[in-house]
């Protein structure tokens, strides 16, 4: 990977220092920015620690999101952000994102930038989001969730048995070879 992209600083900040993680992204072509996607692809190592090694690198971390753009699709982008950060162990305040969209017909980026830069309501909404995240982080740090709070659920509720999966692939190849004979 690119040693100049500063991902080591991102890892250190998120894993060791941050209580609150605020991610901002524009909507472009109906999705989050390519920079956001590059960052989360590189953060796959954090997710792998959860799903493969059962190591919880992120504890008492709260995430919030600011989504802006000239296009619509806010809910889909928010869902992707929420899904990824939930997978790596983050928690969310009530109303975990603020968003601004001028709709599909607003592809005049210079007007969109001006609106975002001067919008009092968008700035107030972002400040309120940061306050909600910080307040939730403070409660989480000062309190305890109790025994079993980090028990995995859903589709990743069970420890991965890679040995059995590899054995199954080997058996399937043998069955295929026998069928071809």
What are the residue boundaries of the structural domains of the chain, listed by start?
Answer: 3-148
Mean local confidence (pLDDT), 64-91: 88
Sign, Cα dihedral of 68, 71, 74, 77? negative
Q: State residue 104's pLDDT score.
A: 59
The bridge status of strand 97-101 relative to strand 62-69 is parallel
CATH class name, domain 3-148: alpha beta
Q: State residue 155's pLDDT score.
A: 47
Query: What is the percent of the chain where pLDDT is above 70?
Result: 72
Question: Among the residues of the chain, which ranges form H helices?
Answer: 7-12, 34-42, 44-51, 74-87, 109-118, 120-142, 162-180
d(CA 55, CA 49): 5
Mean local confidence (pLDDT), 93-108: 79
d(CA 75, CA 160): 31
Contact of 66 with 16, CB cutoff 8 Å: no
d(CA 181, CA 167): 22
Place of tokens 């952000």: 81
Pick the most confident of 20-29, 46-55, 95-104.
20-29
Angle, nearest 10°, between helix axes 74-87 and 44-51? 50
d(CA 15, CA 44): 13
Q: State residue 176's pLDDT score.
A: 56
């Amino acid at each position: 990977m690119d040693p100049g992209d500063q991902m080591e600083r991102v890892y250190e900040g998120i894993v060791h220092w941050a209580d609150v993680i605020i991610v901002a992204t524009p909507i472009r072509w109906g999705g989050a920015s390519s920079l956001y996607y590059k960052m989360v692809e590189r953060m796959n190592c954090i997710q792998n620690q959860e799903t493969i090694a059962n190591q919880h690198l992120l504890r008492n971390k709260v995430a919030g999101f600011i989504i802006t753009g000239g296009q619509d699709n806010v809910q889909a982008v928010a869902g992707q952000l929420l899904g990824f950060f939930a997978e790596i162990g983050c928690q969310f305040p009530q109303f975990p994102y603020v968003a601004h969209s001028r709709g599909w017909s607003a592809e005049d980026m210079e007007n969109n930038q001006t609106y975002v830069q001067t919008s009092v309501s968008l700035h107030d909404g972002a400040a309120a989001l940061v306050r909600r995240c910080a307040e939730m982080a403070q409660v989480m740090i000062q309190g305890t969730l109790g025994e079993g709070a980090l028990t995995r659920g859903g589709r990743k509720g069970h420890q991965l048995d890679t040995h059995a999966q590899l054995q199954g692939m080997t058996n399937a190849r043998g069955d295929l070879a026998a069928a071809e004979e």
